[in-house]
Amino acid sequence: MAGTLYVVATPLGNLGDLSPRAAETLKRVSAVAAEDTRHSKPLLHHAGSQAELLSFHAHSSERALERILRILSEGRDVALITDAGTPAISDPGVELVAAARERGIPIVTIPGPTAVAAGLSVSGIGGDRYLFLGFLPRKGSDRRRLLSTVASSEWTVVLFEAPNRVAQLLTDLAEACGADRPASVSRELTKVFEETRSGTLQELSEHYAEAPARGEVTVVVAGTGKEREEEPSVDPAARAKALLAEGLSRKDAANRLAEETGISRNTAYRLVNEL
């Protein structure tokens, strides 16, 4: 009979936030899969755990994943933890959870701290409905697309960011959402120097450009409060005709058609060649 994979939420910084249930779980499992074993050793010591500590992070090999799954298949229990907060939330632990689920291994959550809820709770911005986007890509079209998503979101948006990139993120958000959009920046949540600063995106951008943030950061951006207007759907055949009328070659027209409408390139080539 397979062991159980326990997905254990751990403190964001204050060890006092480790729940009794989480501590008991860490004490009785055979192994703990951690994002950074050096970071997690003090936590296991605090919990009184003698479990084997295994490394599992974004760059772990398939062998590391199989090793954990093998322990579980042998009937031994494993706890999955991240450096701070709840595993599998902007965290590579999701791969282990998915692999265990595929193999029919029992999975149990030990809920607790999460920077998403913590940042929302002290932001002063409504959290009845919110969109969590985690860390935005550093550059390129994917970043622009997600900035546009934040700008047009009816609901509050929660983001994570590294301290050295907070000022640039706020500048980009101000440009995408408008300088006056309300927001908050929380850093060092639950730690000695915890701070949450609220204001407009422009105000926050200027502040963190002058006083760079330290520690992990959670950014909360107010939504528009208005239902997003859906863009009218594009008729692929009509758009194909228009692209050819512009003088584009069939190949270029098909590529543009696929990019603009989201249809497959094969379908786009077929539509263009039928005209």
What are the pLDDT digits (tens) for 5-31? 999 999 999 999 999 999 999 999 999
Domain-located, residue 95: yes
Give percent of the chain with pLDDT exceeding 70. Answer: 98
Average pLDDT over residues 32-37: 96
Name every residue whose Cβ is closer than 8 Å to that of residue 182 and which is 6 or more positions away in sequence.
Answer: 125, 198, 199, 200, 201, 221, 222
Question: Residue 189: what pLDDT?
Answer: 97
Only one residue has tokens 């809920």, namely 111
Question: Residue 274: what pLDDT?
Answer: 85
Q: Which of 52, 85, 113 is the last residue of a domain?
A: 113
Look at the pTM and tell me if it is higher than 0.85.
no
Instruction: Supply the range of the domain harboring residue 243.
Output: 236-274
Q: 78: buried, middle or exposed (CB in 10 Å: 19+, 13-18, 0-12)?
A: buried
Which amino acid is residue 262, in one-letter code?
G
Tens of pLDDT along 213-241? 999 999 999 999 987 655 556 788 888 88
Same structural domain, 17 and 92? yes
Number of domains composing the chain: 3
Average pLDDT over residues 105-118: 97
Same structural domain, 72 and 109? yes
Same structural domain, 108 and 145? no
Question: Residue 1: what pLDDT?
Answer: 86
Same structural domain, 53 and 148? no
Q: Which of 63, 86, 113 is the last residue of a domain?
A: 113
Q: Which of 113, 146, 169 is the last residue of a domain?
A: 113
Q: What is the band of 135 on the pLDDT scale with cuts at 50, 70, 90?
A: very high
Give Rg (Cα) of the chain: 23
Residue 140 has pLDDT above 60, yes or no: yes
Question: Residue 152: what pLDDT?
Answer: 95
As a whole number, the mean pLDDT across the chain is 94
Domain harbouring 120, CATH code = 3.30.950.10
Question: Residue 230: what pLDDT?
Answer: 55
Domain-located, residue 228: no
HSE toward the beta carbon, residue 226, CA cutoff 13 A: 6
